[in-house]
A and B are shown apart, each in its own frame.
Chain A
Amino acid sequence: MQRLLYLFSLIILFGACKKEALQAYSSTALVYFYEAARNKTITDDSTTFSFAVMPATVQSDTIYLPLRIIGEAAKTDRQVGCELIAESSIADASCYEILPAIIPANSYTGAIPVKVNRMPVLKTKEMRLWIRIINSPDFKTGVSDQLKYLIRLNDFLSKPSSWRDNLFGKYSNVKFDLIIKATGVVDYTGLDYITERNLLQQCRNALYVYENEHGILYDENGEPVVFQ
């Protein structure tokens, strides 16, 4: 009887030696906001979009919120569900439109396009658009803390998300305006040191010219604008 028990145990143990084929993910695909790589207009889980840094001829533009999926790529385009979180947003319907979002065929990434319009209200009021991913027939919601995205939308100068104090010093709208006029650059992500130096020098030159003509340039807080 005892021998039979040993034999039986041995057989069970050997059963664990069977090579098992790799199991692919086969559940419904999941989708979430992709934050790992910084997109040109996106920094982490929010972005600030200001028409103030754009020519007056630009009346609308589109912001793309990057998406990534968990699961297999499909042979056809798939719809991603999304909506505005009305309770936490400050949103004038005339200022934005969430366009249909898809994950294209054979792709693991996509975007939620949000069309933004340059409406007069943006001159005085900043919109805060909280966009949320929701379940759709093709996707369920993915990484739980990467399902919401904030768009700050305005038409007045505001500190861009790529602003760096160690490059330009303390932020002010007046300084930012000077930088835009001097360099035409509004996004300061991913710049190498030599390019940064050139931008900073252009700003210094613009400030030098201004001060020679008008005296010290003061910002909206009454402090002189300076560059290091």
Chain B
Amino acid sequence: MTRQLYNCLCLLLIVLTGCYKDKGNYDLHPINELTITSTTPDTILFNQFDRIKVKVDIAQTIPGEEYSYRWTAYSYLNVGRTNDTLGFGTAIDTIVRVNPGDYYLLFAATGKKTGITTFKKFFMRVSSIYSEGWIVLDGEGSDQQLSLIRPDGSIMRNVYQTANGENLPANGFRVRVLNTYLGDQDVFLLTKNGGVSMDYISFRKQLNYQNWFFQAPETIAPSNIFYNKLGVAGFLINNGKVHYIPFSYTGPRRYGAPLEGDYVISPHVFPMMSSDNAIFFDTKYQRFLTHGNGKLTPLISPAGSAFDLANVGKTLVYAGESNNDFHNCLFKDNNADKYYVYRINTSAANIAAEKYEVADAPEIKDAKFFASSGIYLQIYYAVGNRIYLLDIPAQKARLVYTFPAGVQITAMRLKMAQGLLIQYPDNNRTITVGALENNEGKVYSFSISNTGDFVNNTYSKVYTGFKKVIDLEYKNRK
């Protein structure tokens, strides 16, 4: 019995040793912590090819460890881009040759013994003389040029000829600046017989219109080019047919054969937010078509729709983006001067969302230039020397500005960002108007108030010295 008791006691002692707190056979040491500071602000702005000088100071909690350093610039939209290494010390004093755009400048200090890396990040905005501003297409026939009105009001004239030593292709009618989700910016000029693409840094010529395609169409008749709101896909309307290119796949940046179908697409298009989706209006059958993955499909109105998407039965005069995912479509009766605004909601199951009659809109039948507001239910339109504002729910328009007699409005464009990719502080708040006065083209800039009227009922800036202004397009900073 006693023996059994001893055995149990021994066993208990063994078991109890498991409760002993293991204090380990190691020592804890504080690690060396690094603090990186700099007198340079966290946001750095400069022009391409400027010399950049940045220095950081390093403080160690346990001095003595050796570090290796590296300065890297990488794109703000960090997709599919290689990084540029700018230096290997605690300071850089170098000329930055990266293309204009937004970058992160990253300083990394890596402990040679521990391999632990500590970072400091700067936001770096690299500009160029052509980074941002209103592109103006002016002149007629073979005597046309592109100019850039920069945000500081200075004008870079004849930028295409300066870059290329040759005239613009003749009969240009539309300039487009488009951005892909990859951060690329493309600049296009569409002309009656083709067009040309240019690089966004210098306006150097890239490709003639025929080379935008795998195989150039037999009939060259461009009417519009656009990317959808997130820059995932590009669409080119030629001779009423849709050519499509997705940007999220490898391969040459060329438009393919036209999408099949019996349709004639209007140049007024409806870029959408999701994927490669877009909506088009078929002028042949006066119906809406939707695009997805290289296929056009007629849209059908579910019950409760405000109008029949498959058979509108009216002529599309103009369409433009409105608030949220809405678009305003100005329709006209096929046989009468009677106008309507149909609003489509591209993100809703019921796309045919609203329908308004235009009861009182002076001179709208003669209007050539339109601009749909992206924040209010309004459409600007210009006739002769007058700018009207159509209040859609009120079904009537009011005169918002009149130029002196003899002035002719020749172009009008609202500053509106492409989807979520671009942000302007004055998005939908600035409208520019090209006007011909005594054979001189001028560009007027109007600021838009909270009512849609122009601030102080007049223009805020005027830029002179152009020929007849044909088109205007805002080039976002890049």
Q: Which residues of A contact B (CB under 8 A)?
A: 192-198, 200-202, 204-205, 207-208
Contact = CB atoms under 8 A, between A and B. Distances in A.
B256 A194 contact: yes
A147 to B, nearest CB: 37
Interface string B246-268: 10011111101111110000000
B183 interface: no
Interface of B: 214, 245-246, 249-254, 256-261, 294
Contact of B258 (A194, A197, A200, A205): A205
Contact of A192 (B250, B256, B257): B250
Contact of A194 (B252, B257, B259, B261): B252
Given A201-B257, A201-B259, A208-B260, A195 B252 contact: yes
B258 to A, nearest CB: 7
Nearest to B256: A198
A205 B256 CA distance: 11
Enumerate the 5 nearest inter-chain pairs by beta-carbon distance, A residue then B residue, closest first: A194-B251, A198-B256, A192-B251, A193-B249, A208-B260
A194 B260 contact: no
Interface of A is mostly: helix
A205 B294 CA distance: 12
Given A194-B245, A208-B261, A201 B256 contact: yes
Given A192-B250, A195-B251, A195-B252, 17 more contacts: A192-B251, A193-B251, A194-B249, A194-B252, A194-B256, A196-B251, A197-B249, A197-B251, A198-B214, A198-B254, A201-B256, A201-B258, A201-B259, A202-B256, A202-B257, A205-B258, A205-B260
A200 B214 CA distance: 13
A193 B254 CA distance: 12
A100 to B, nearest CB: 40
A176 to B, nearest CB: 19
Contacts of A195: 214, 251-252
A56 to B, nearest CB: 24
Contacts of A205: 257-258, 260
Contacts of B245: 194
A205 B251 CA distance: 21
Contacts of B246: 193-194, 197
30 contacts: A192-B250, A192-B251, A192-B252, A193-B249, A193-B251, A194-B245, A194-B249, A194-B251, A194-B252, A194-B253, A194-B256, A195-B214, A195-B251, A195-B252, A196-B251, A197-B246, A197-B294, A198-B254, A198-B257, A201-B257, A201-B259, A201-B260, A201-B294, A202-B257, A204-B260, A205-B257, A205-B258, A207-B260, A208-B260, A208-B261
Given A201-B256, A201-B259, A208-B260, A194 B250 contact: yes
A126 B230 CA distance: 52
A197 B261 contact: no
A194 B255 CA distance: 9
Contacts of A198: 214, 254, 256-257
